[in-house]
Every structure is written in structure tokens, then in C-alpha cells.
Structure 1
Amino acid sequence: MHRRRRTALVLSAAIAAAAPLLTACGSDAHPGAAAVVGGQRITVAQLENRVNEVRKAQRAAVPDETQYQQVLASTSGLTRDTLHNMVLDRVLHRAAQDEGITVTRKEVLQMRTGLEQQAGGAKGLETAWLQKYGIAPEQLDDNLRLQLEAQKLASRLGTDTSQPAFWKALSQASEELHVDLNPRYGSWDVQKSSRVDAKTPWVREVTAGAQQQTT
């Protein structure tokens, strides 16, 4: 993952990627889990709920069916992007904890108020975050908390989120948390603190079969 893409993910929590059409339920080691981070599962159901929040918001924002289909096509990697962000949230939070960093509710509200003023109101901010970053309104505050943690962590390290020192801290947190992704979603690159697609033959075969059934 290029530095520019990694930085955008931390600060915006949204990266586009292609997602295979799979229906299996969890890996053998962690049935029903999309990922295990620090011994805590992110279940497939939790992931699907998060994705559904985004799709529901997109549907409400784009009532025209043709335009909505275009939105779906442009965000075809939403499931993998969302899981990536859910894992990275925990990795970044761990890195912030390691440095004694906390973010208060007041700080989140202050940041949101400032952004709402720039966006022309609460609705404008929600729409902007949905369109630009694939963040549903229900997750907006959590995303802002993530950004504040990233900013504080970079400041504590005397760097910024585009520099190796910042990503080294995330890499260390990834190691501490022993991130384990369900193979259907790829794998976690500890050094880059990033999800990567797995080169697994059965994934390609199942994906191809699913696509044939839908054509």
C-alpha cells in the first residue's frame, strides 16, 4: 500500500477495493469471525451491519435507481474497505493507548461542530462523509474520534500521519494485537498495518462461480 493511500485511510477511513462474492461463514479457526484483533472477534454479522448502514444511507441520499447503481459500482469494495477500517480502528486505538493518548467526547463534539460549519450544517457533513469516505451517519463520531487519535499520536511522536515513524507505531500495535483476518477478506500486513488481498486459488474459483451464477 502506498503511503498516500495509507494516510488517506487513517484520516478518512475509506479506501476502494474489489470484493469477491462469497457466502462462506468464517474461517475454520474462528467460525463466524471476519477478523480477530487482540483476541476479540469482529463477527461477519457486525461487518455486514456496518456495510448495511452505509448502503442504507447511500440509498436514502440517491433515490434515482440508475444513479444508485452507479454508486454501488463505484463502491464495490465496501465490505473489504469496511473491515479494513474496523481493524485499523482497533490498531490505532491500541497505538494511542500505548502512548497514553485519550480523546474526550468534548473534543469529538468540537471537531464535529467545526466541520459542520464548513459543510453548511450537520446534514451537509453527513452527506460529505458518506460520499467521500463511505462513512454512515451512525459512525461519523467514531470516525472523528479515530482522526483525533491519529492526529494526537502523530503529534506525540513528533511527526505526521504520512511519515514512517507514525506507521511504525501502528505496525507495533498490529504485532501486539495479533491481527488475524478471515482468508476471504485477505490478510493483514503487520508492517504496513494494512489489509492485503490473499492469493488463494479457492477464493478465485468460488468468486468466479458466484459471478457465473449471477450473470
Structure 2
Amino acid sequence: MHRRRRTALLLSAAIAAAPLLTACGNDAHPGAAAVVGGQRITVSQLESRVNEVRAAQRAAVNDEAQYAQAIADTGTLSRDTLHNMVLDRVLHRAAQDAGVTVSRKEVQEMRAGLEEQVGGPKALRTAWLQQYSIAPERLDENLRLQLEAQKLAAKLGTDTSQPAFWNALSKASEKLNVDLNPRYGTWDVERSSRVDQQAPWVRDVTTAQAQQPA
């Protein structure tokens, strides 16, 4: 797989790799979906991002059945979108710490290369929407994220699949003191990834049901 294509899998791979953990959360930041480096990502900001994706999905299909299927296929959109918003800030901090920068020209060059690979601008927008739930207006923003990841890995002498890369993100996560609203799960500092919070009562009820005699 082409290296630029492979780095585009960073976000989805991080989500898929996250284990189910329990951790502490609090409501110390009302109205915030997350606090990263003392800066709030508000619930309204998150909802706005989600609405961008939903609007793009609606515009991309021809009937209600297709739209309903698109929604069903992205049932965790709010949580995954928040993951991406937090990871963006974590990665940007790790890149800053390593002296890595990405120019607008580099983003444009990457976009042009990807458009050539997939068959044009519309095809690229469609691919990013379907595969990564990235709204068209956020495409350049996402490509900047991918370039930062690629350049950070190169600076570290590794690639985005190796521990050295994720260790850098882990250090950035710790510095930024990422705090998620418990309704969206928790942030695993070691993996720099959002994880779902499993409520004890869910586990207890499930166990009790499994132990009932047939």
C-alpha cells in the first residue's frame, strides 16, 4: 500500500485498536465533551462536526433507505468524531514538541496526489466520507493530521504503526491532561485513544442472566 494511503488509516486504526477499559471521569467541565490542554471541546462543537458528516451523507445518497443505512453504518459517529478531534490536538502537540511543521503547500500536494490515485476530487471526498466519516469541508484538516503523523514518524526514525511513534503521542496526551466527559468514554493515555467505559451494572446484569438455570 502506498505510504500516503497507509497513513490515512491512522485514525480508524487507533479507534479499532482501543481496548475496553474502565477509568475515572468527572463532570468538572459542564458543557464540555472533552478538555485538552486546558482548552474545551464543547458538546456543541462536537455536535456541529457530527452534523457536517450527516449532512454530507444525506447529500451523497438518493433515497431514505440509503441514508438510513449510512447512519446505521456510523452508529458511533459522535464518539469517533470526538476521538479524532482530541487526537488531532494530541498529535499536533507531539509534532510541535518534535519540531515538526506542515505547510499548506504540503497539504495541497498530498490532496492532489490522492485525487489522482482515486479518480478526482469528488472521488476523494466520497472516499473520506465513506471510509473515515470525514466531511468534505474537513478534508484538508484531516490531511494535515495525516501529514503531521507521517512527518513525526519520520523524524523519530519509525512509522505510525511502531511503539516509538505512539510513545510520542502518549507523552503528548499526558502533557495535555486529556479529560473526556464520561458520556463519551475515557482517554487511554498510553494508547492515545478514546475507550468506552463499561458500567459495572451492565456487567453484573449480564452475568446474572447467564447464570440463571434454563
The Cα of 1:9 is off from its aligned counterpart by 5.3
For residues 14 and 61 of structure 1, what CA distance do their matches in structure 2 show? Answer: 26
Q: Is the 2:56–2:136 Cα contact (8 Å) retained in structure 1?
A: yes
For residues 12 and 83 of structure 1, what CA distance do their matches in structure 2 show? Answer: 13
What are the residue-to-residue correspondences of 1:109-124 with 2, within 5 Å?
A: 109-124=108-123
Q: Is the 1:14–1:133 Cα contact (8 Å) retained in structure 2?
A: no
Q: Deviations over 1:46-71 (max 9, x none)?
A: 00000000000000001211111111
The Cα of 1:203 is off from its aligned counterpart by 9.2
**TM-score, normalised to structure 1's length?**
0.82
Partner of 1:49: 48
For residues 172 and 125 of structure 2, what CA distance do their matches in structure 1 show? Answer: 30
Matched, 1:196 2:204: no
Based on CA coordinates, which of the two structures has the bigger radius of gyration? 2
The Cα of 1:199 is off from its aligned counterpart by 2.2
Q: Is the 1:14–1:82 Cα contact (8 Å) retained in structure 2?
A: no
The structure-2 alpha-carbon separation of the partners of 1:92 and 1:195, relative to structure 1 and needing over 3 Å to count, comes to same
Q: Is the 1:171–1:191 Cα contact (8 Å) retained in structure 2?
A: yes
The structure-2 alpha-carbon separation of the partners of 1:53 and 1:119, relative to structure 1 and needing over 3 Å to count, comes to same
For residues 91 and 126 of structure 1, what CA distance do their matches in structure 2 show? Answer: 25
**TM-score, normalised to structure 2's length?**
0.83
Partner of 1:10: 10
Partner of 1:76: 75
Partner of 1:33: 32
The structure-2 alpha-carbon separation of the partners of 1:202 and 1:89, relative to structure 1 and needing over 3 Å to count, comes to farther
Partner of 1:209: none
Q: Deviations over 1:92-119 (max 9, x none)?
A: 0000000000000000001011111122
Report the AA paired with residue 10 of structure 1: L
Q: Is the 1:36–1:179 Cα contact (8 Å) retained in structure 2?
A: yes
Gaps of 5+ in 1: 1-6, 17-26, 205-215
Q: Is the 1:51–1:82 Cα contact (8 Å) retained in structure 2?
A: yes
Matched, 1:169 2:168: yes
The Cα of 1:13 is off from its aligned counterpart by 7.8
The Cα of 1:12 is off from its aligned counterpart by 5.4
Gaps of 5+ in 2: 1-6, 17-25, 204-214
Partner of 2:136: 137
Partner of 1:94: 93
For residues 181 and 165 of structure 1, what CA distance do their matches in structure 2 show? Answer: 25
The Cα of 1:202 is off from its aligned counterpart by 8.0
The Cα of 1:188 is off from its aligned counterpart by 0.3
**Does 1 or 2 have the higher relative contact order (CA < 8 Å, sep 6+)?**
2
Q: Is the 1:108–1:145 Cα contact (8 Å) retained in structure 2?
A: yes
The structure-2 alpha-carbon separation of the partners of 1:13 and 1:164, relative to structure 1 and needing over 3 Å to count, comes to closer
For residues 84 and 111 of structure 1, what CA distance do their matches in structure 2 show? Answer: 23
Q: Is the 2:114–2:124 Cα contact (8 Å) retained in structure 1?
A: yes
Partner of 2:3: none
- Aligned-residue RMSD, C-alpha: 2.1
Q: Is the 2:11–2:84 Cα contact (8 Å) retained in structure 1?
A: no
